[in-house]
Amino acid sequence: MRQMMVAGNWKMHGSVAFTSDMVTTLASKVVIKENVTLLVCPPAVYLAQAAAAAAHSGVHVGAQNLASVASPGAYTGEVAGFMLADIGCQYVIVGHSERRALYAEDNEIVAHKAKVALDAGLVPLVCVGETLEQREAGKAQEVITAQLDAVSAVIGVDGWSQAIVAYEPVWAIGTGRTASPEQAQEIHAVIRARLAELDAGMATAMRILYGGSVKPDNAESIFSQLDVDGGLIGGASLNADDFARIYACAQTK
């Protein structure tokens, strides 16, 4: 049985007060189960605070992005993977569709960032997913396979063994339009099969999260699918009650 994960991507939301409130509320409200990882990904400036508040609570902390450069240097505004690890982050999201679309991060950059994250001792949550246009053109599987293959070429089986995949159909992110459980399962199975072409054991163990308008009332049906191992949650992760309820749904699998 694979470990489940429920991860919250706060995006560019939060404050000092919100961070301490959210982490302490989650730590007290949620009964953390060993087989379901609970992760919060606040903006970079609140990571150290979140990591301190989460210490010994079972709540894990991850970043939303990292620099593509591994070593210190003249890279104004960037945050390195080793710095994230230094302040207590264990995970980092790479390849989120907002970074692909708004910051021109292509498959090669995403793959490189996944490698930099692994080298810094972080677990990359590698996001893949198709746009509505690509889905309607019948290209969802082709797009996702290309996104995976680019990462495979750089991190290989060993890297994937330390990583997590998040399937996030772009048309479902922040739109209130969720993939049906069957649509999610179909693509999750494609992802696992593609990874199995590299290594069957790695693919079987891979955690594949679904992301895209997951809410307390749809989480259970999505998480119940065979190849869905939890969720990457945006909007609903900003509400402690909703996020706790989504976490509870992952425990029922």
230 binds ligand PEP (CB under 6 A): no
213 binds ligand PEP (CB under 6 A): yes
**Facing residues of 249 across strands?**
none
Q: Where are the alpha helices (DSSP H) in 30-139?
A: 47-54, 81-86, 97-102, 107-119, 132-136
d(CA 50, CA 6) in angstroms, rounded, equals 17
233 binds ligand PEP (CB under 6 A): yes
The H or E element spanning position 26 is: helix 16-29
**Least distance to ligand PEP, CB of residue 191, Å:** 16
d(CA 57, CA 165) in angstroms, rounded, equals 25
> Is the Cβ–Cβ distance between 194 and 184 less than 8 Å?
no
Selected from 214, 244, 246, 250, the binder of ligand PEP by CB under 6 A is 214
232 binds ligand PEP (CB under 6 A): yes
Q: Please identify, using beta-carbon distances, which residue of 72 and 174 lies nearer to ligand PEP.
A: 174
Selected from 38, 105, 140, 168, the binder of ligand PEP by CB under 6 A is 168
129 binds ligand PEP (CB under 6 A): no
Selected from 209, 212, 228, 247, the binder of ligand PEP by CB under 6 A is 212
> Is the Cβ–Cβ distance between 40 and 50 less than 8 Å?
yes
> Is the Cβ–Cβ distance between 67 and 51 less than 8 Å?
no
Stretch that binds ligand PEP, among 25-33, 42-50, 55-63, 212-220 (CB under 6 A): 212-220
SS3 label, residue 7: strand
**Least distance to ligand PEP, CB of residue 238, Å:** 9
Q: Which residues bind ligand PEP (CB under 6 A)?
A: 9, 168, 173-174, 211-214, 232-236
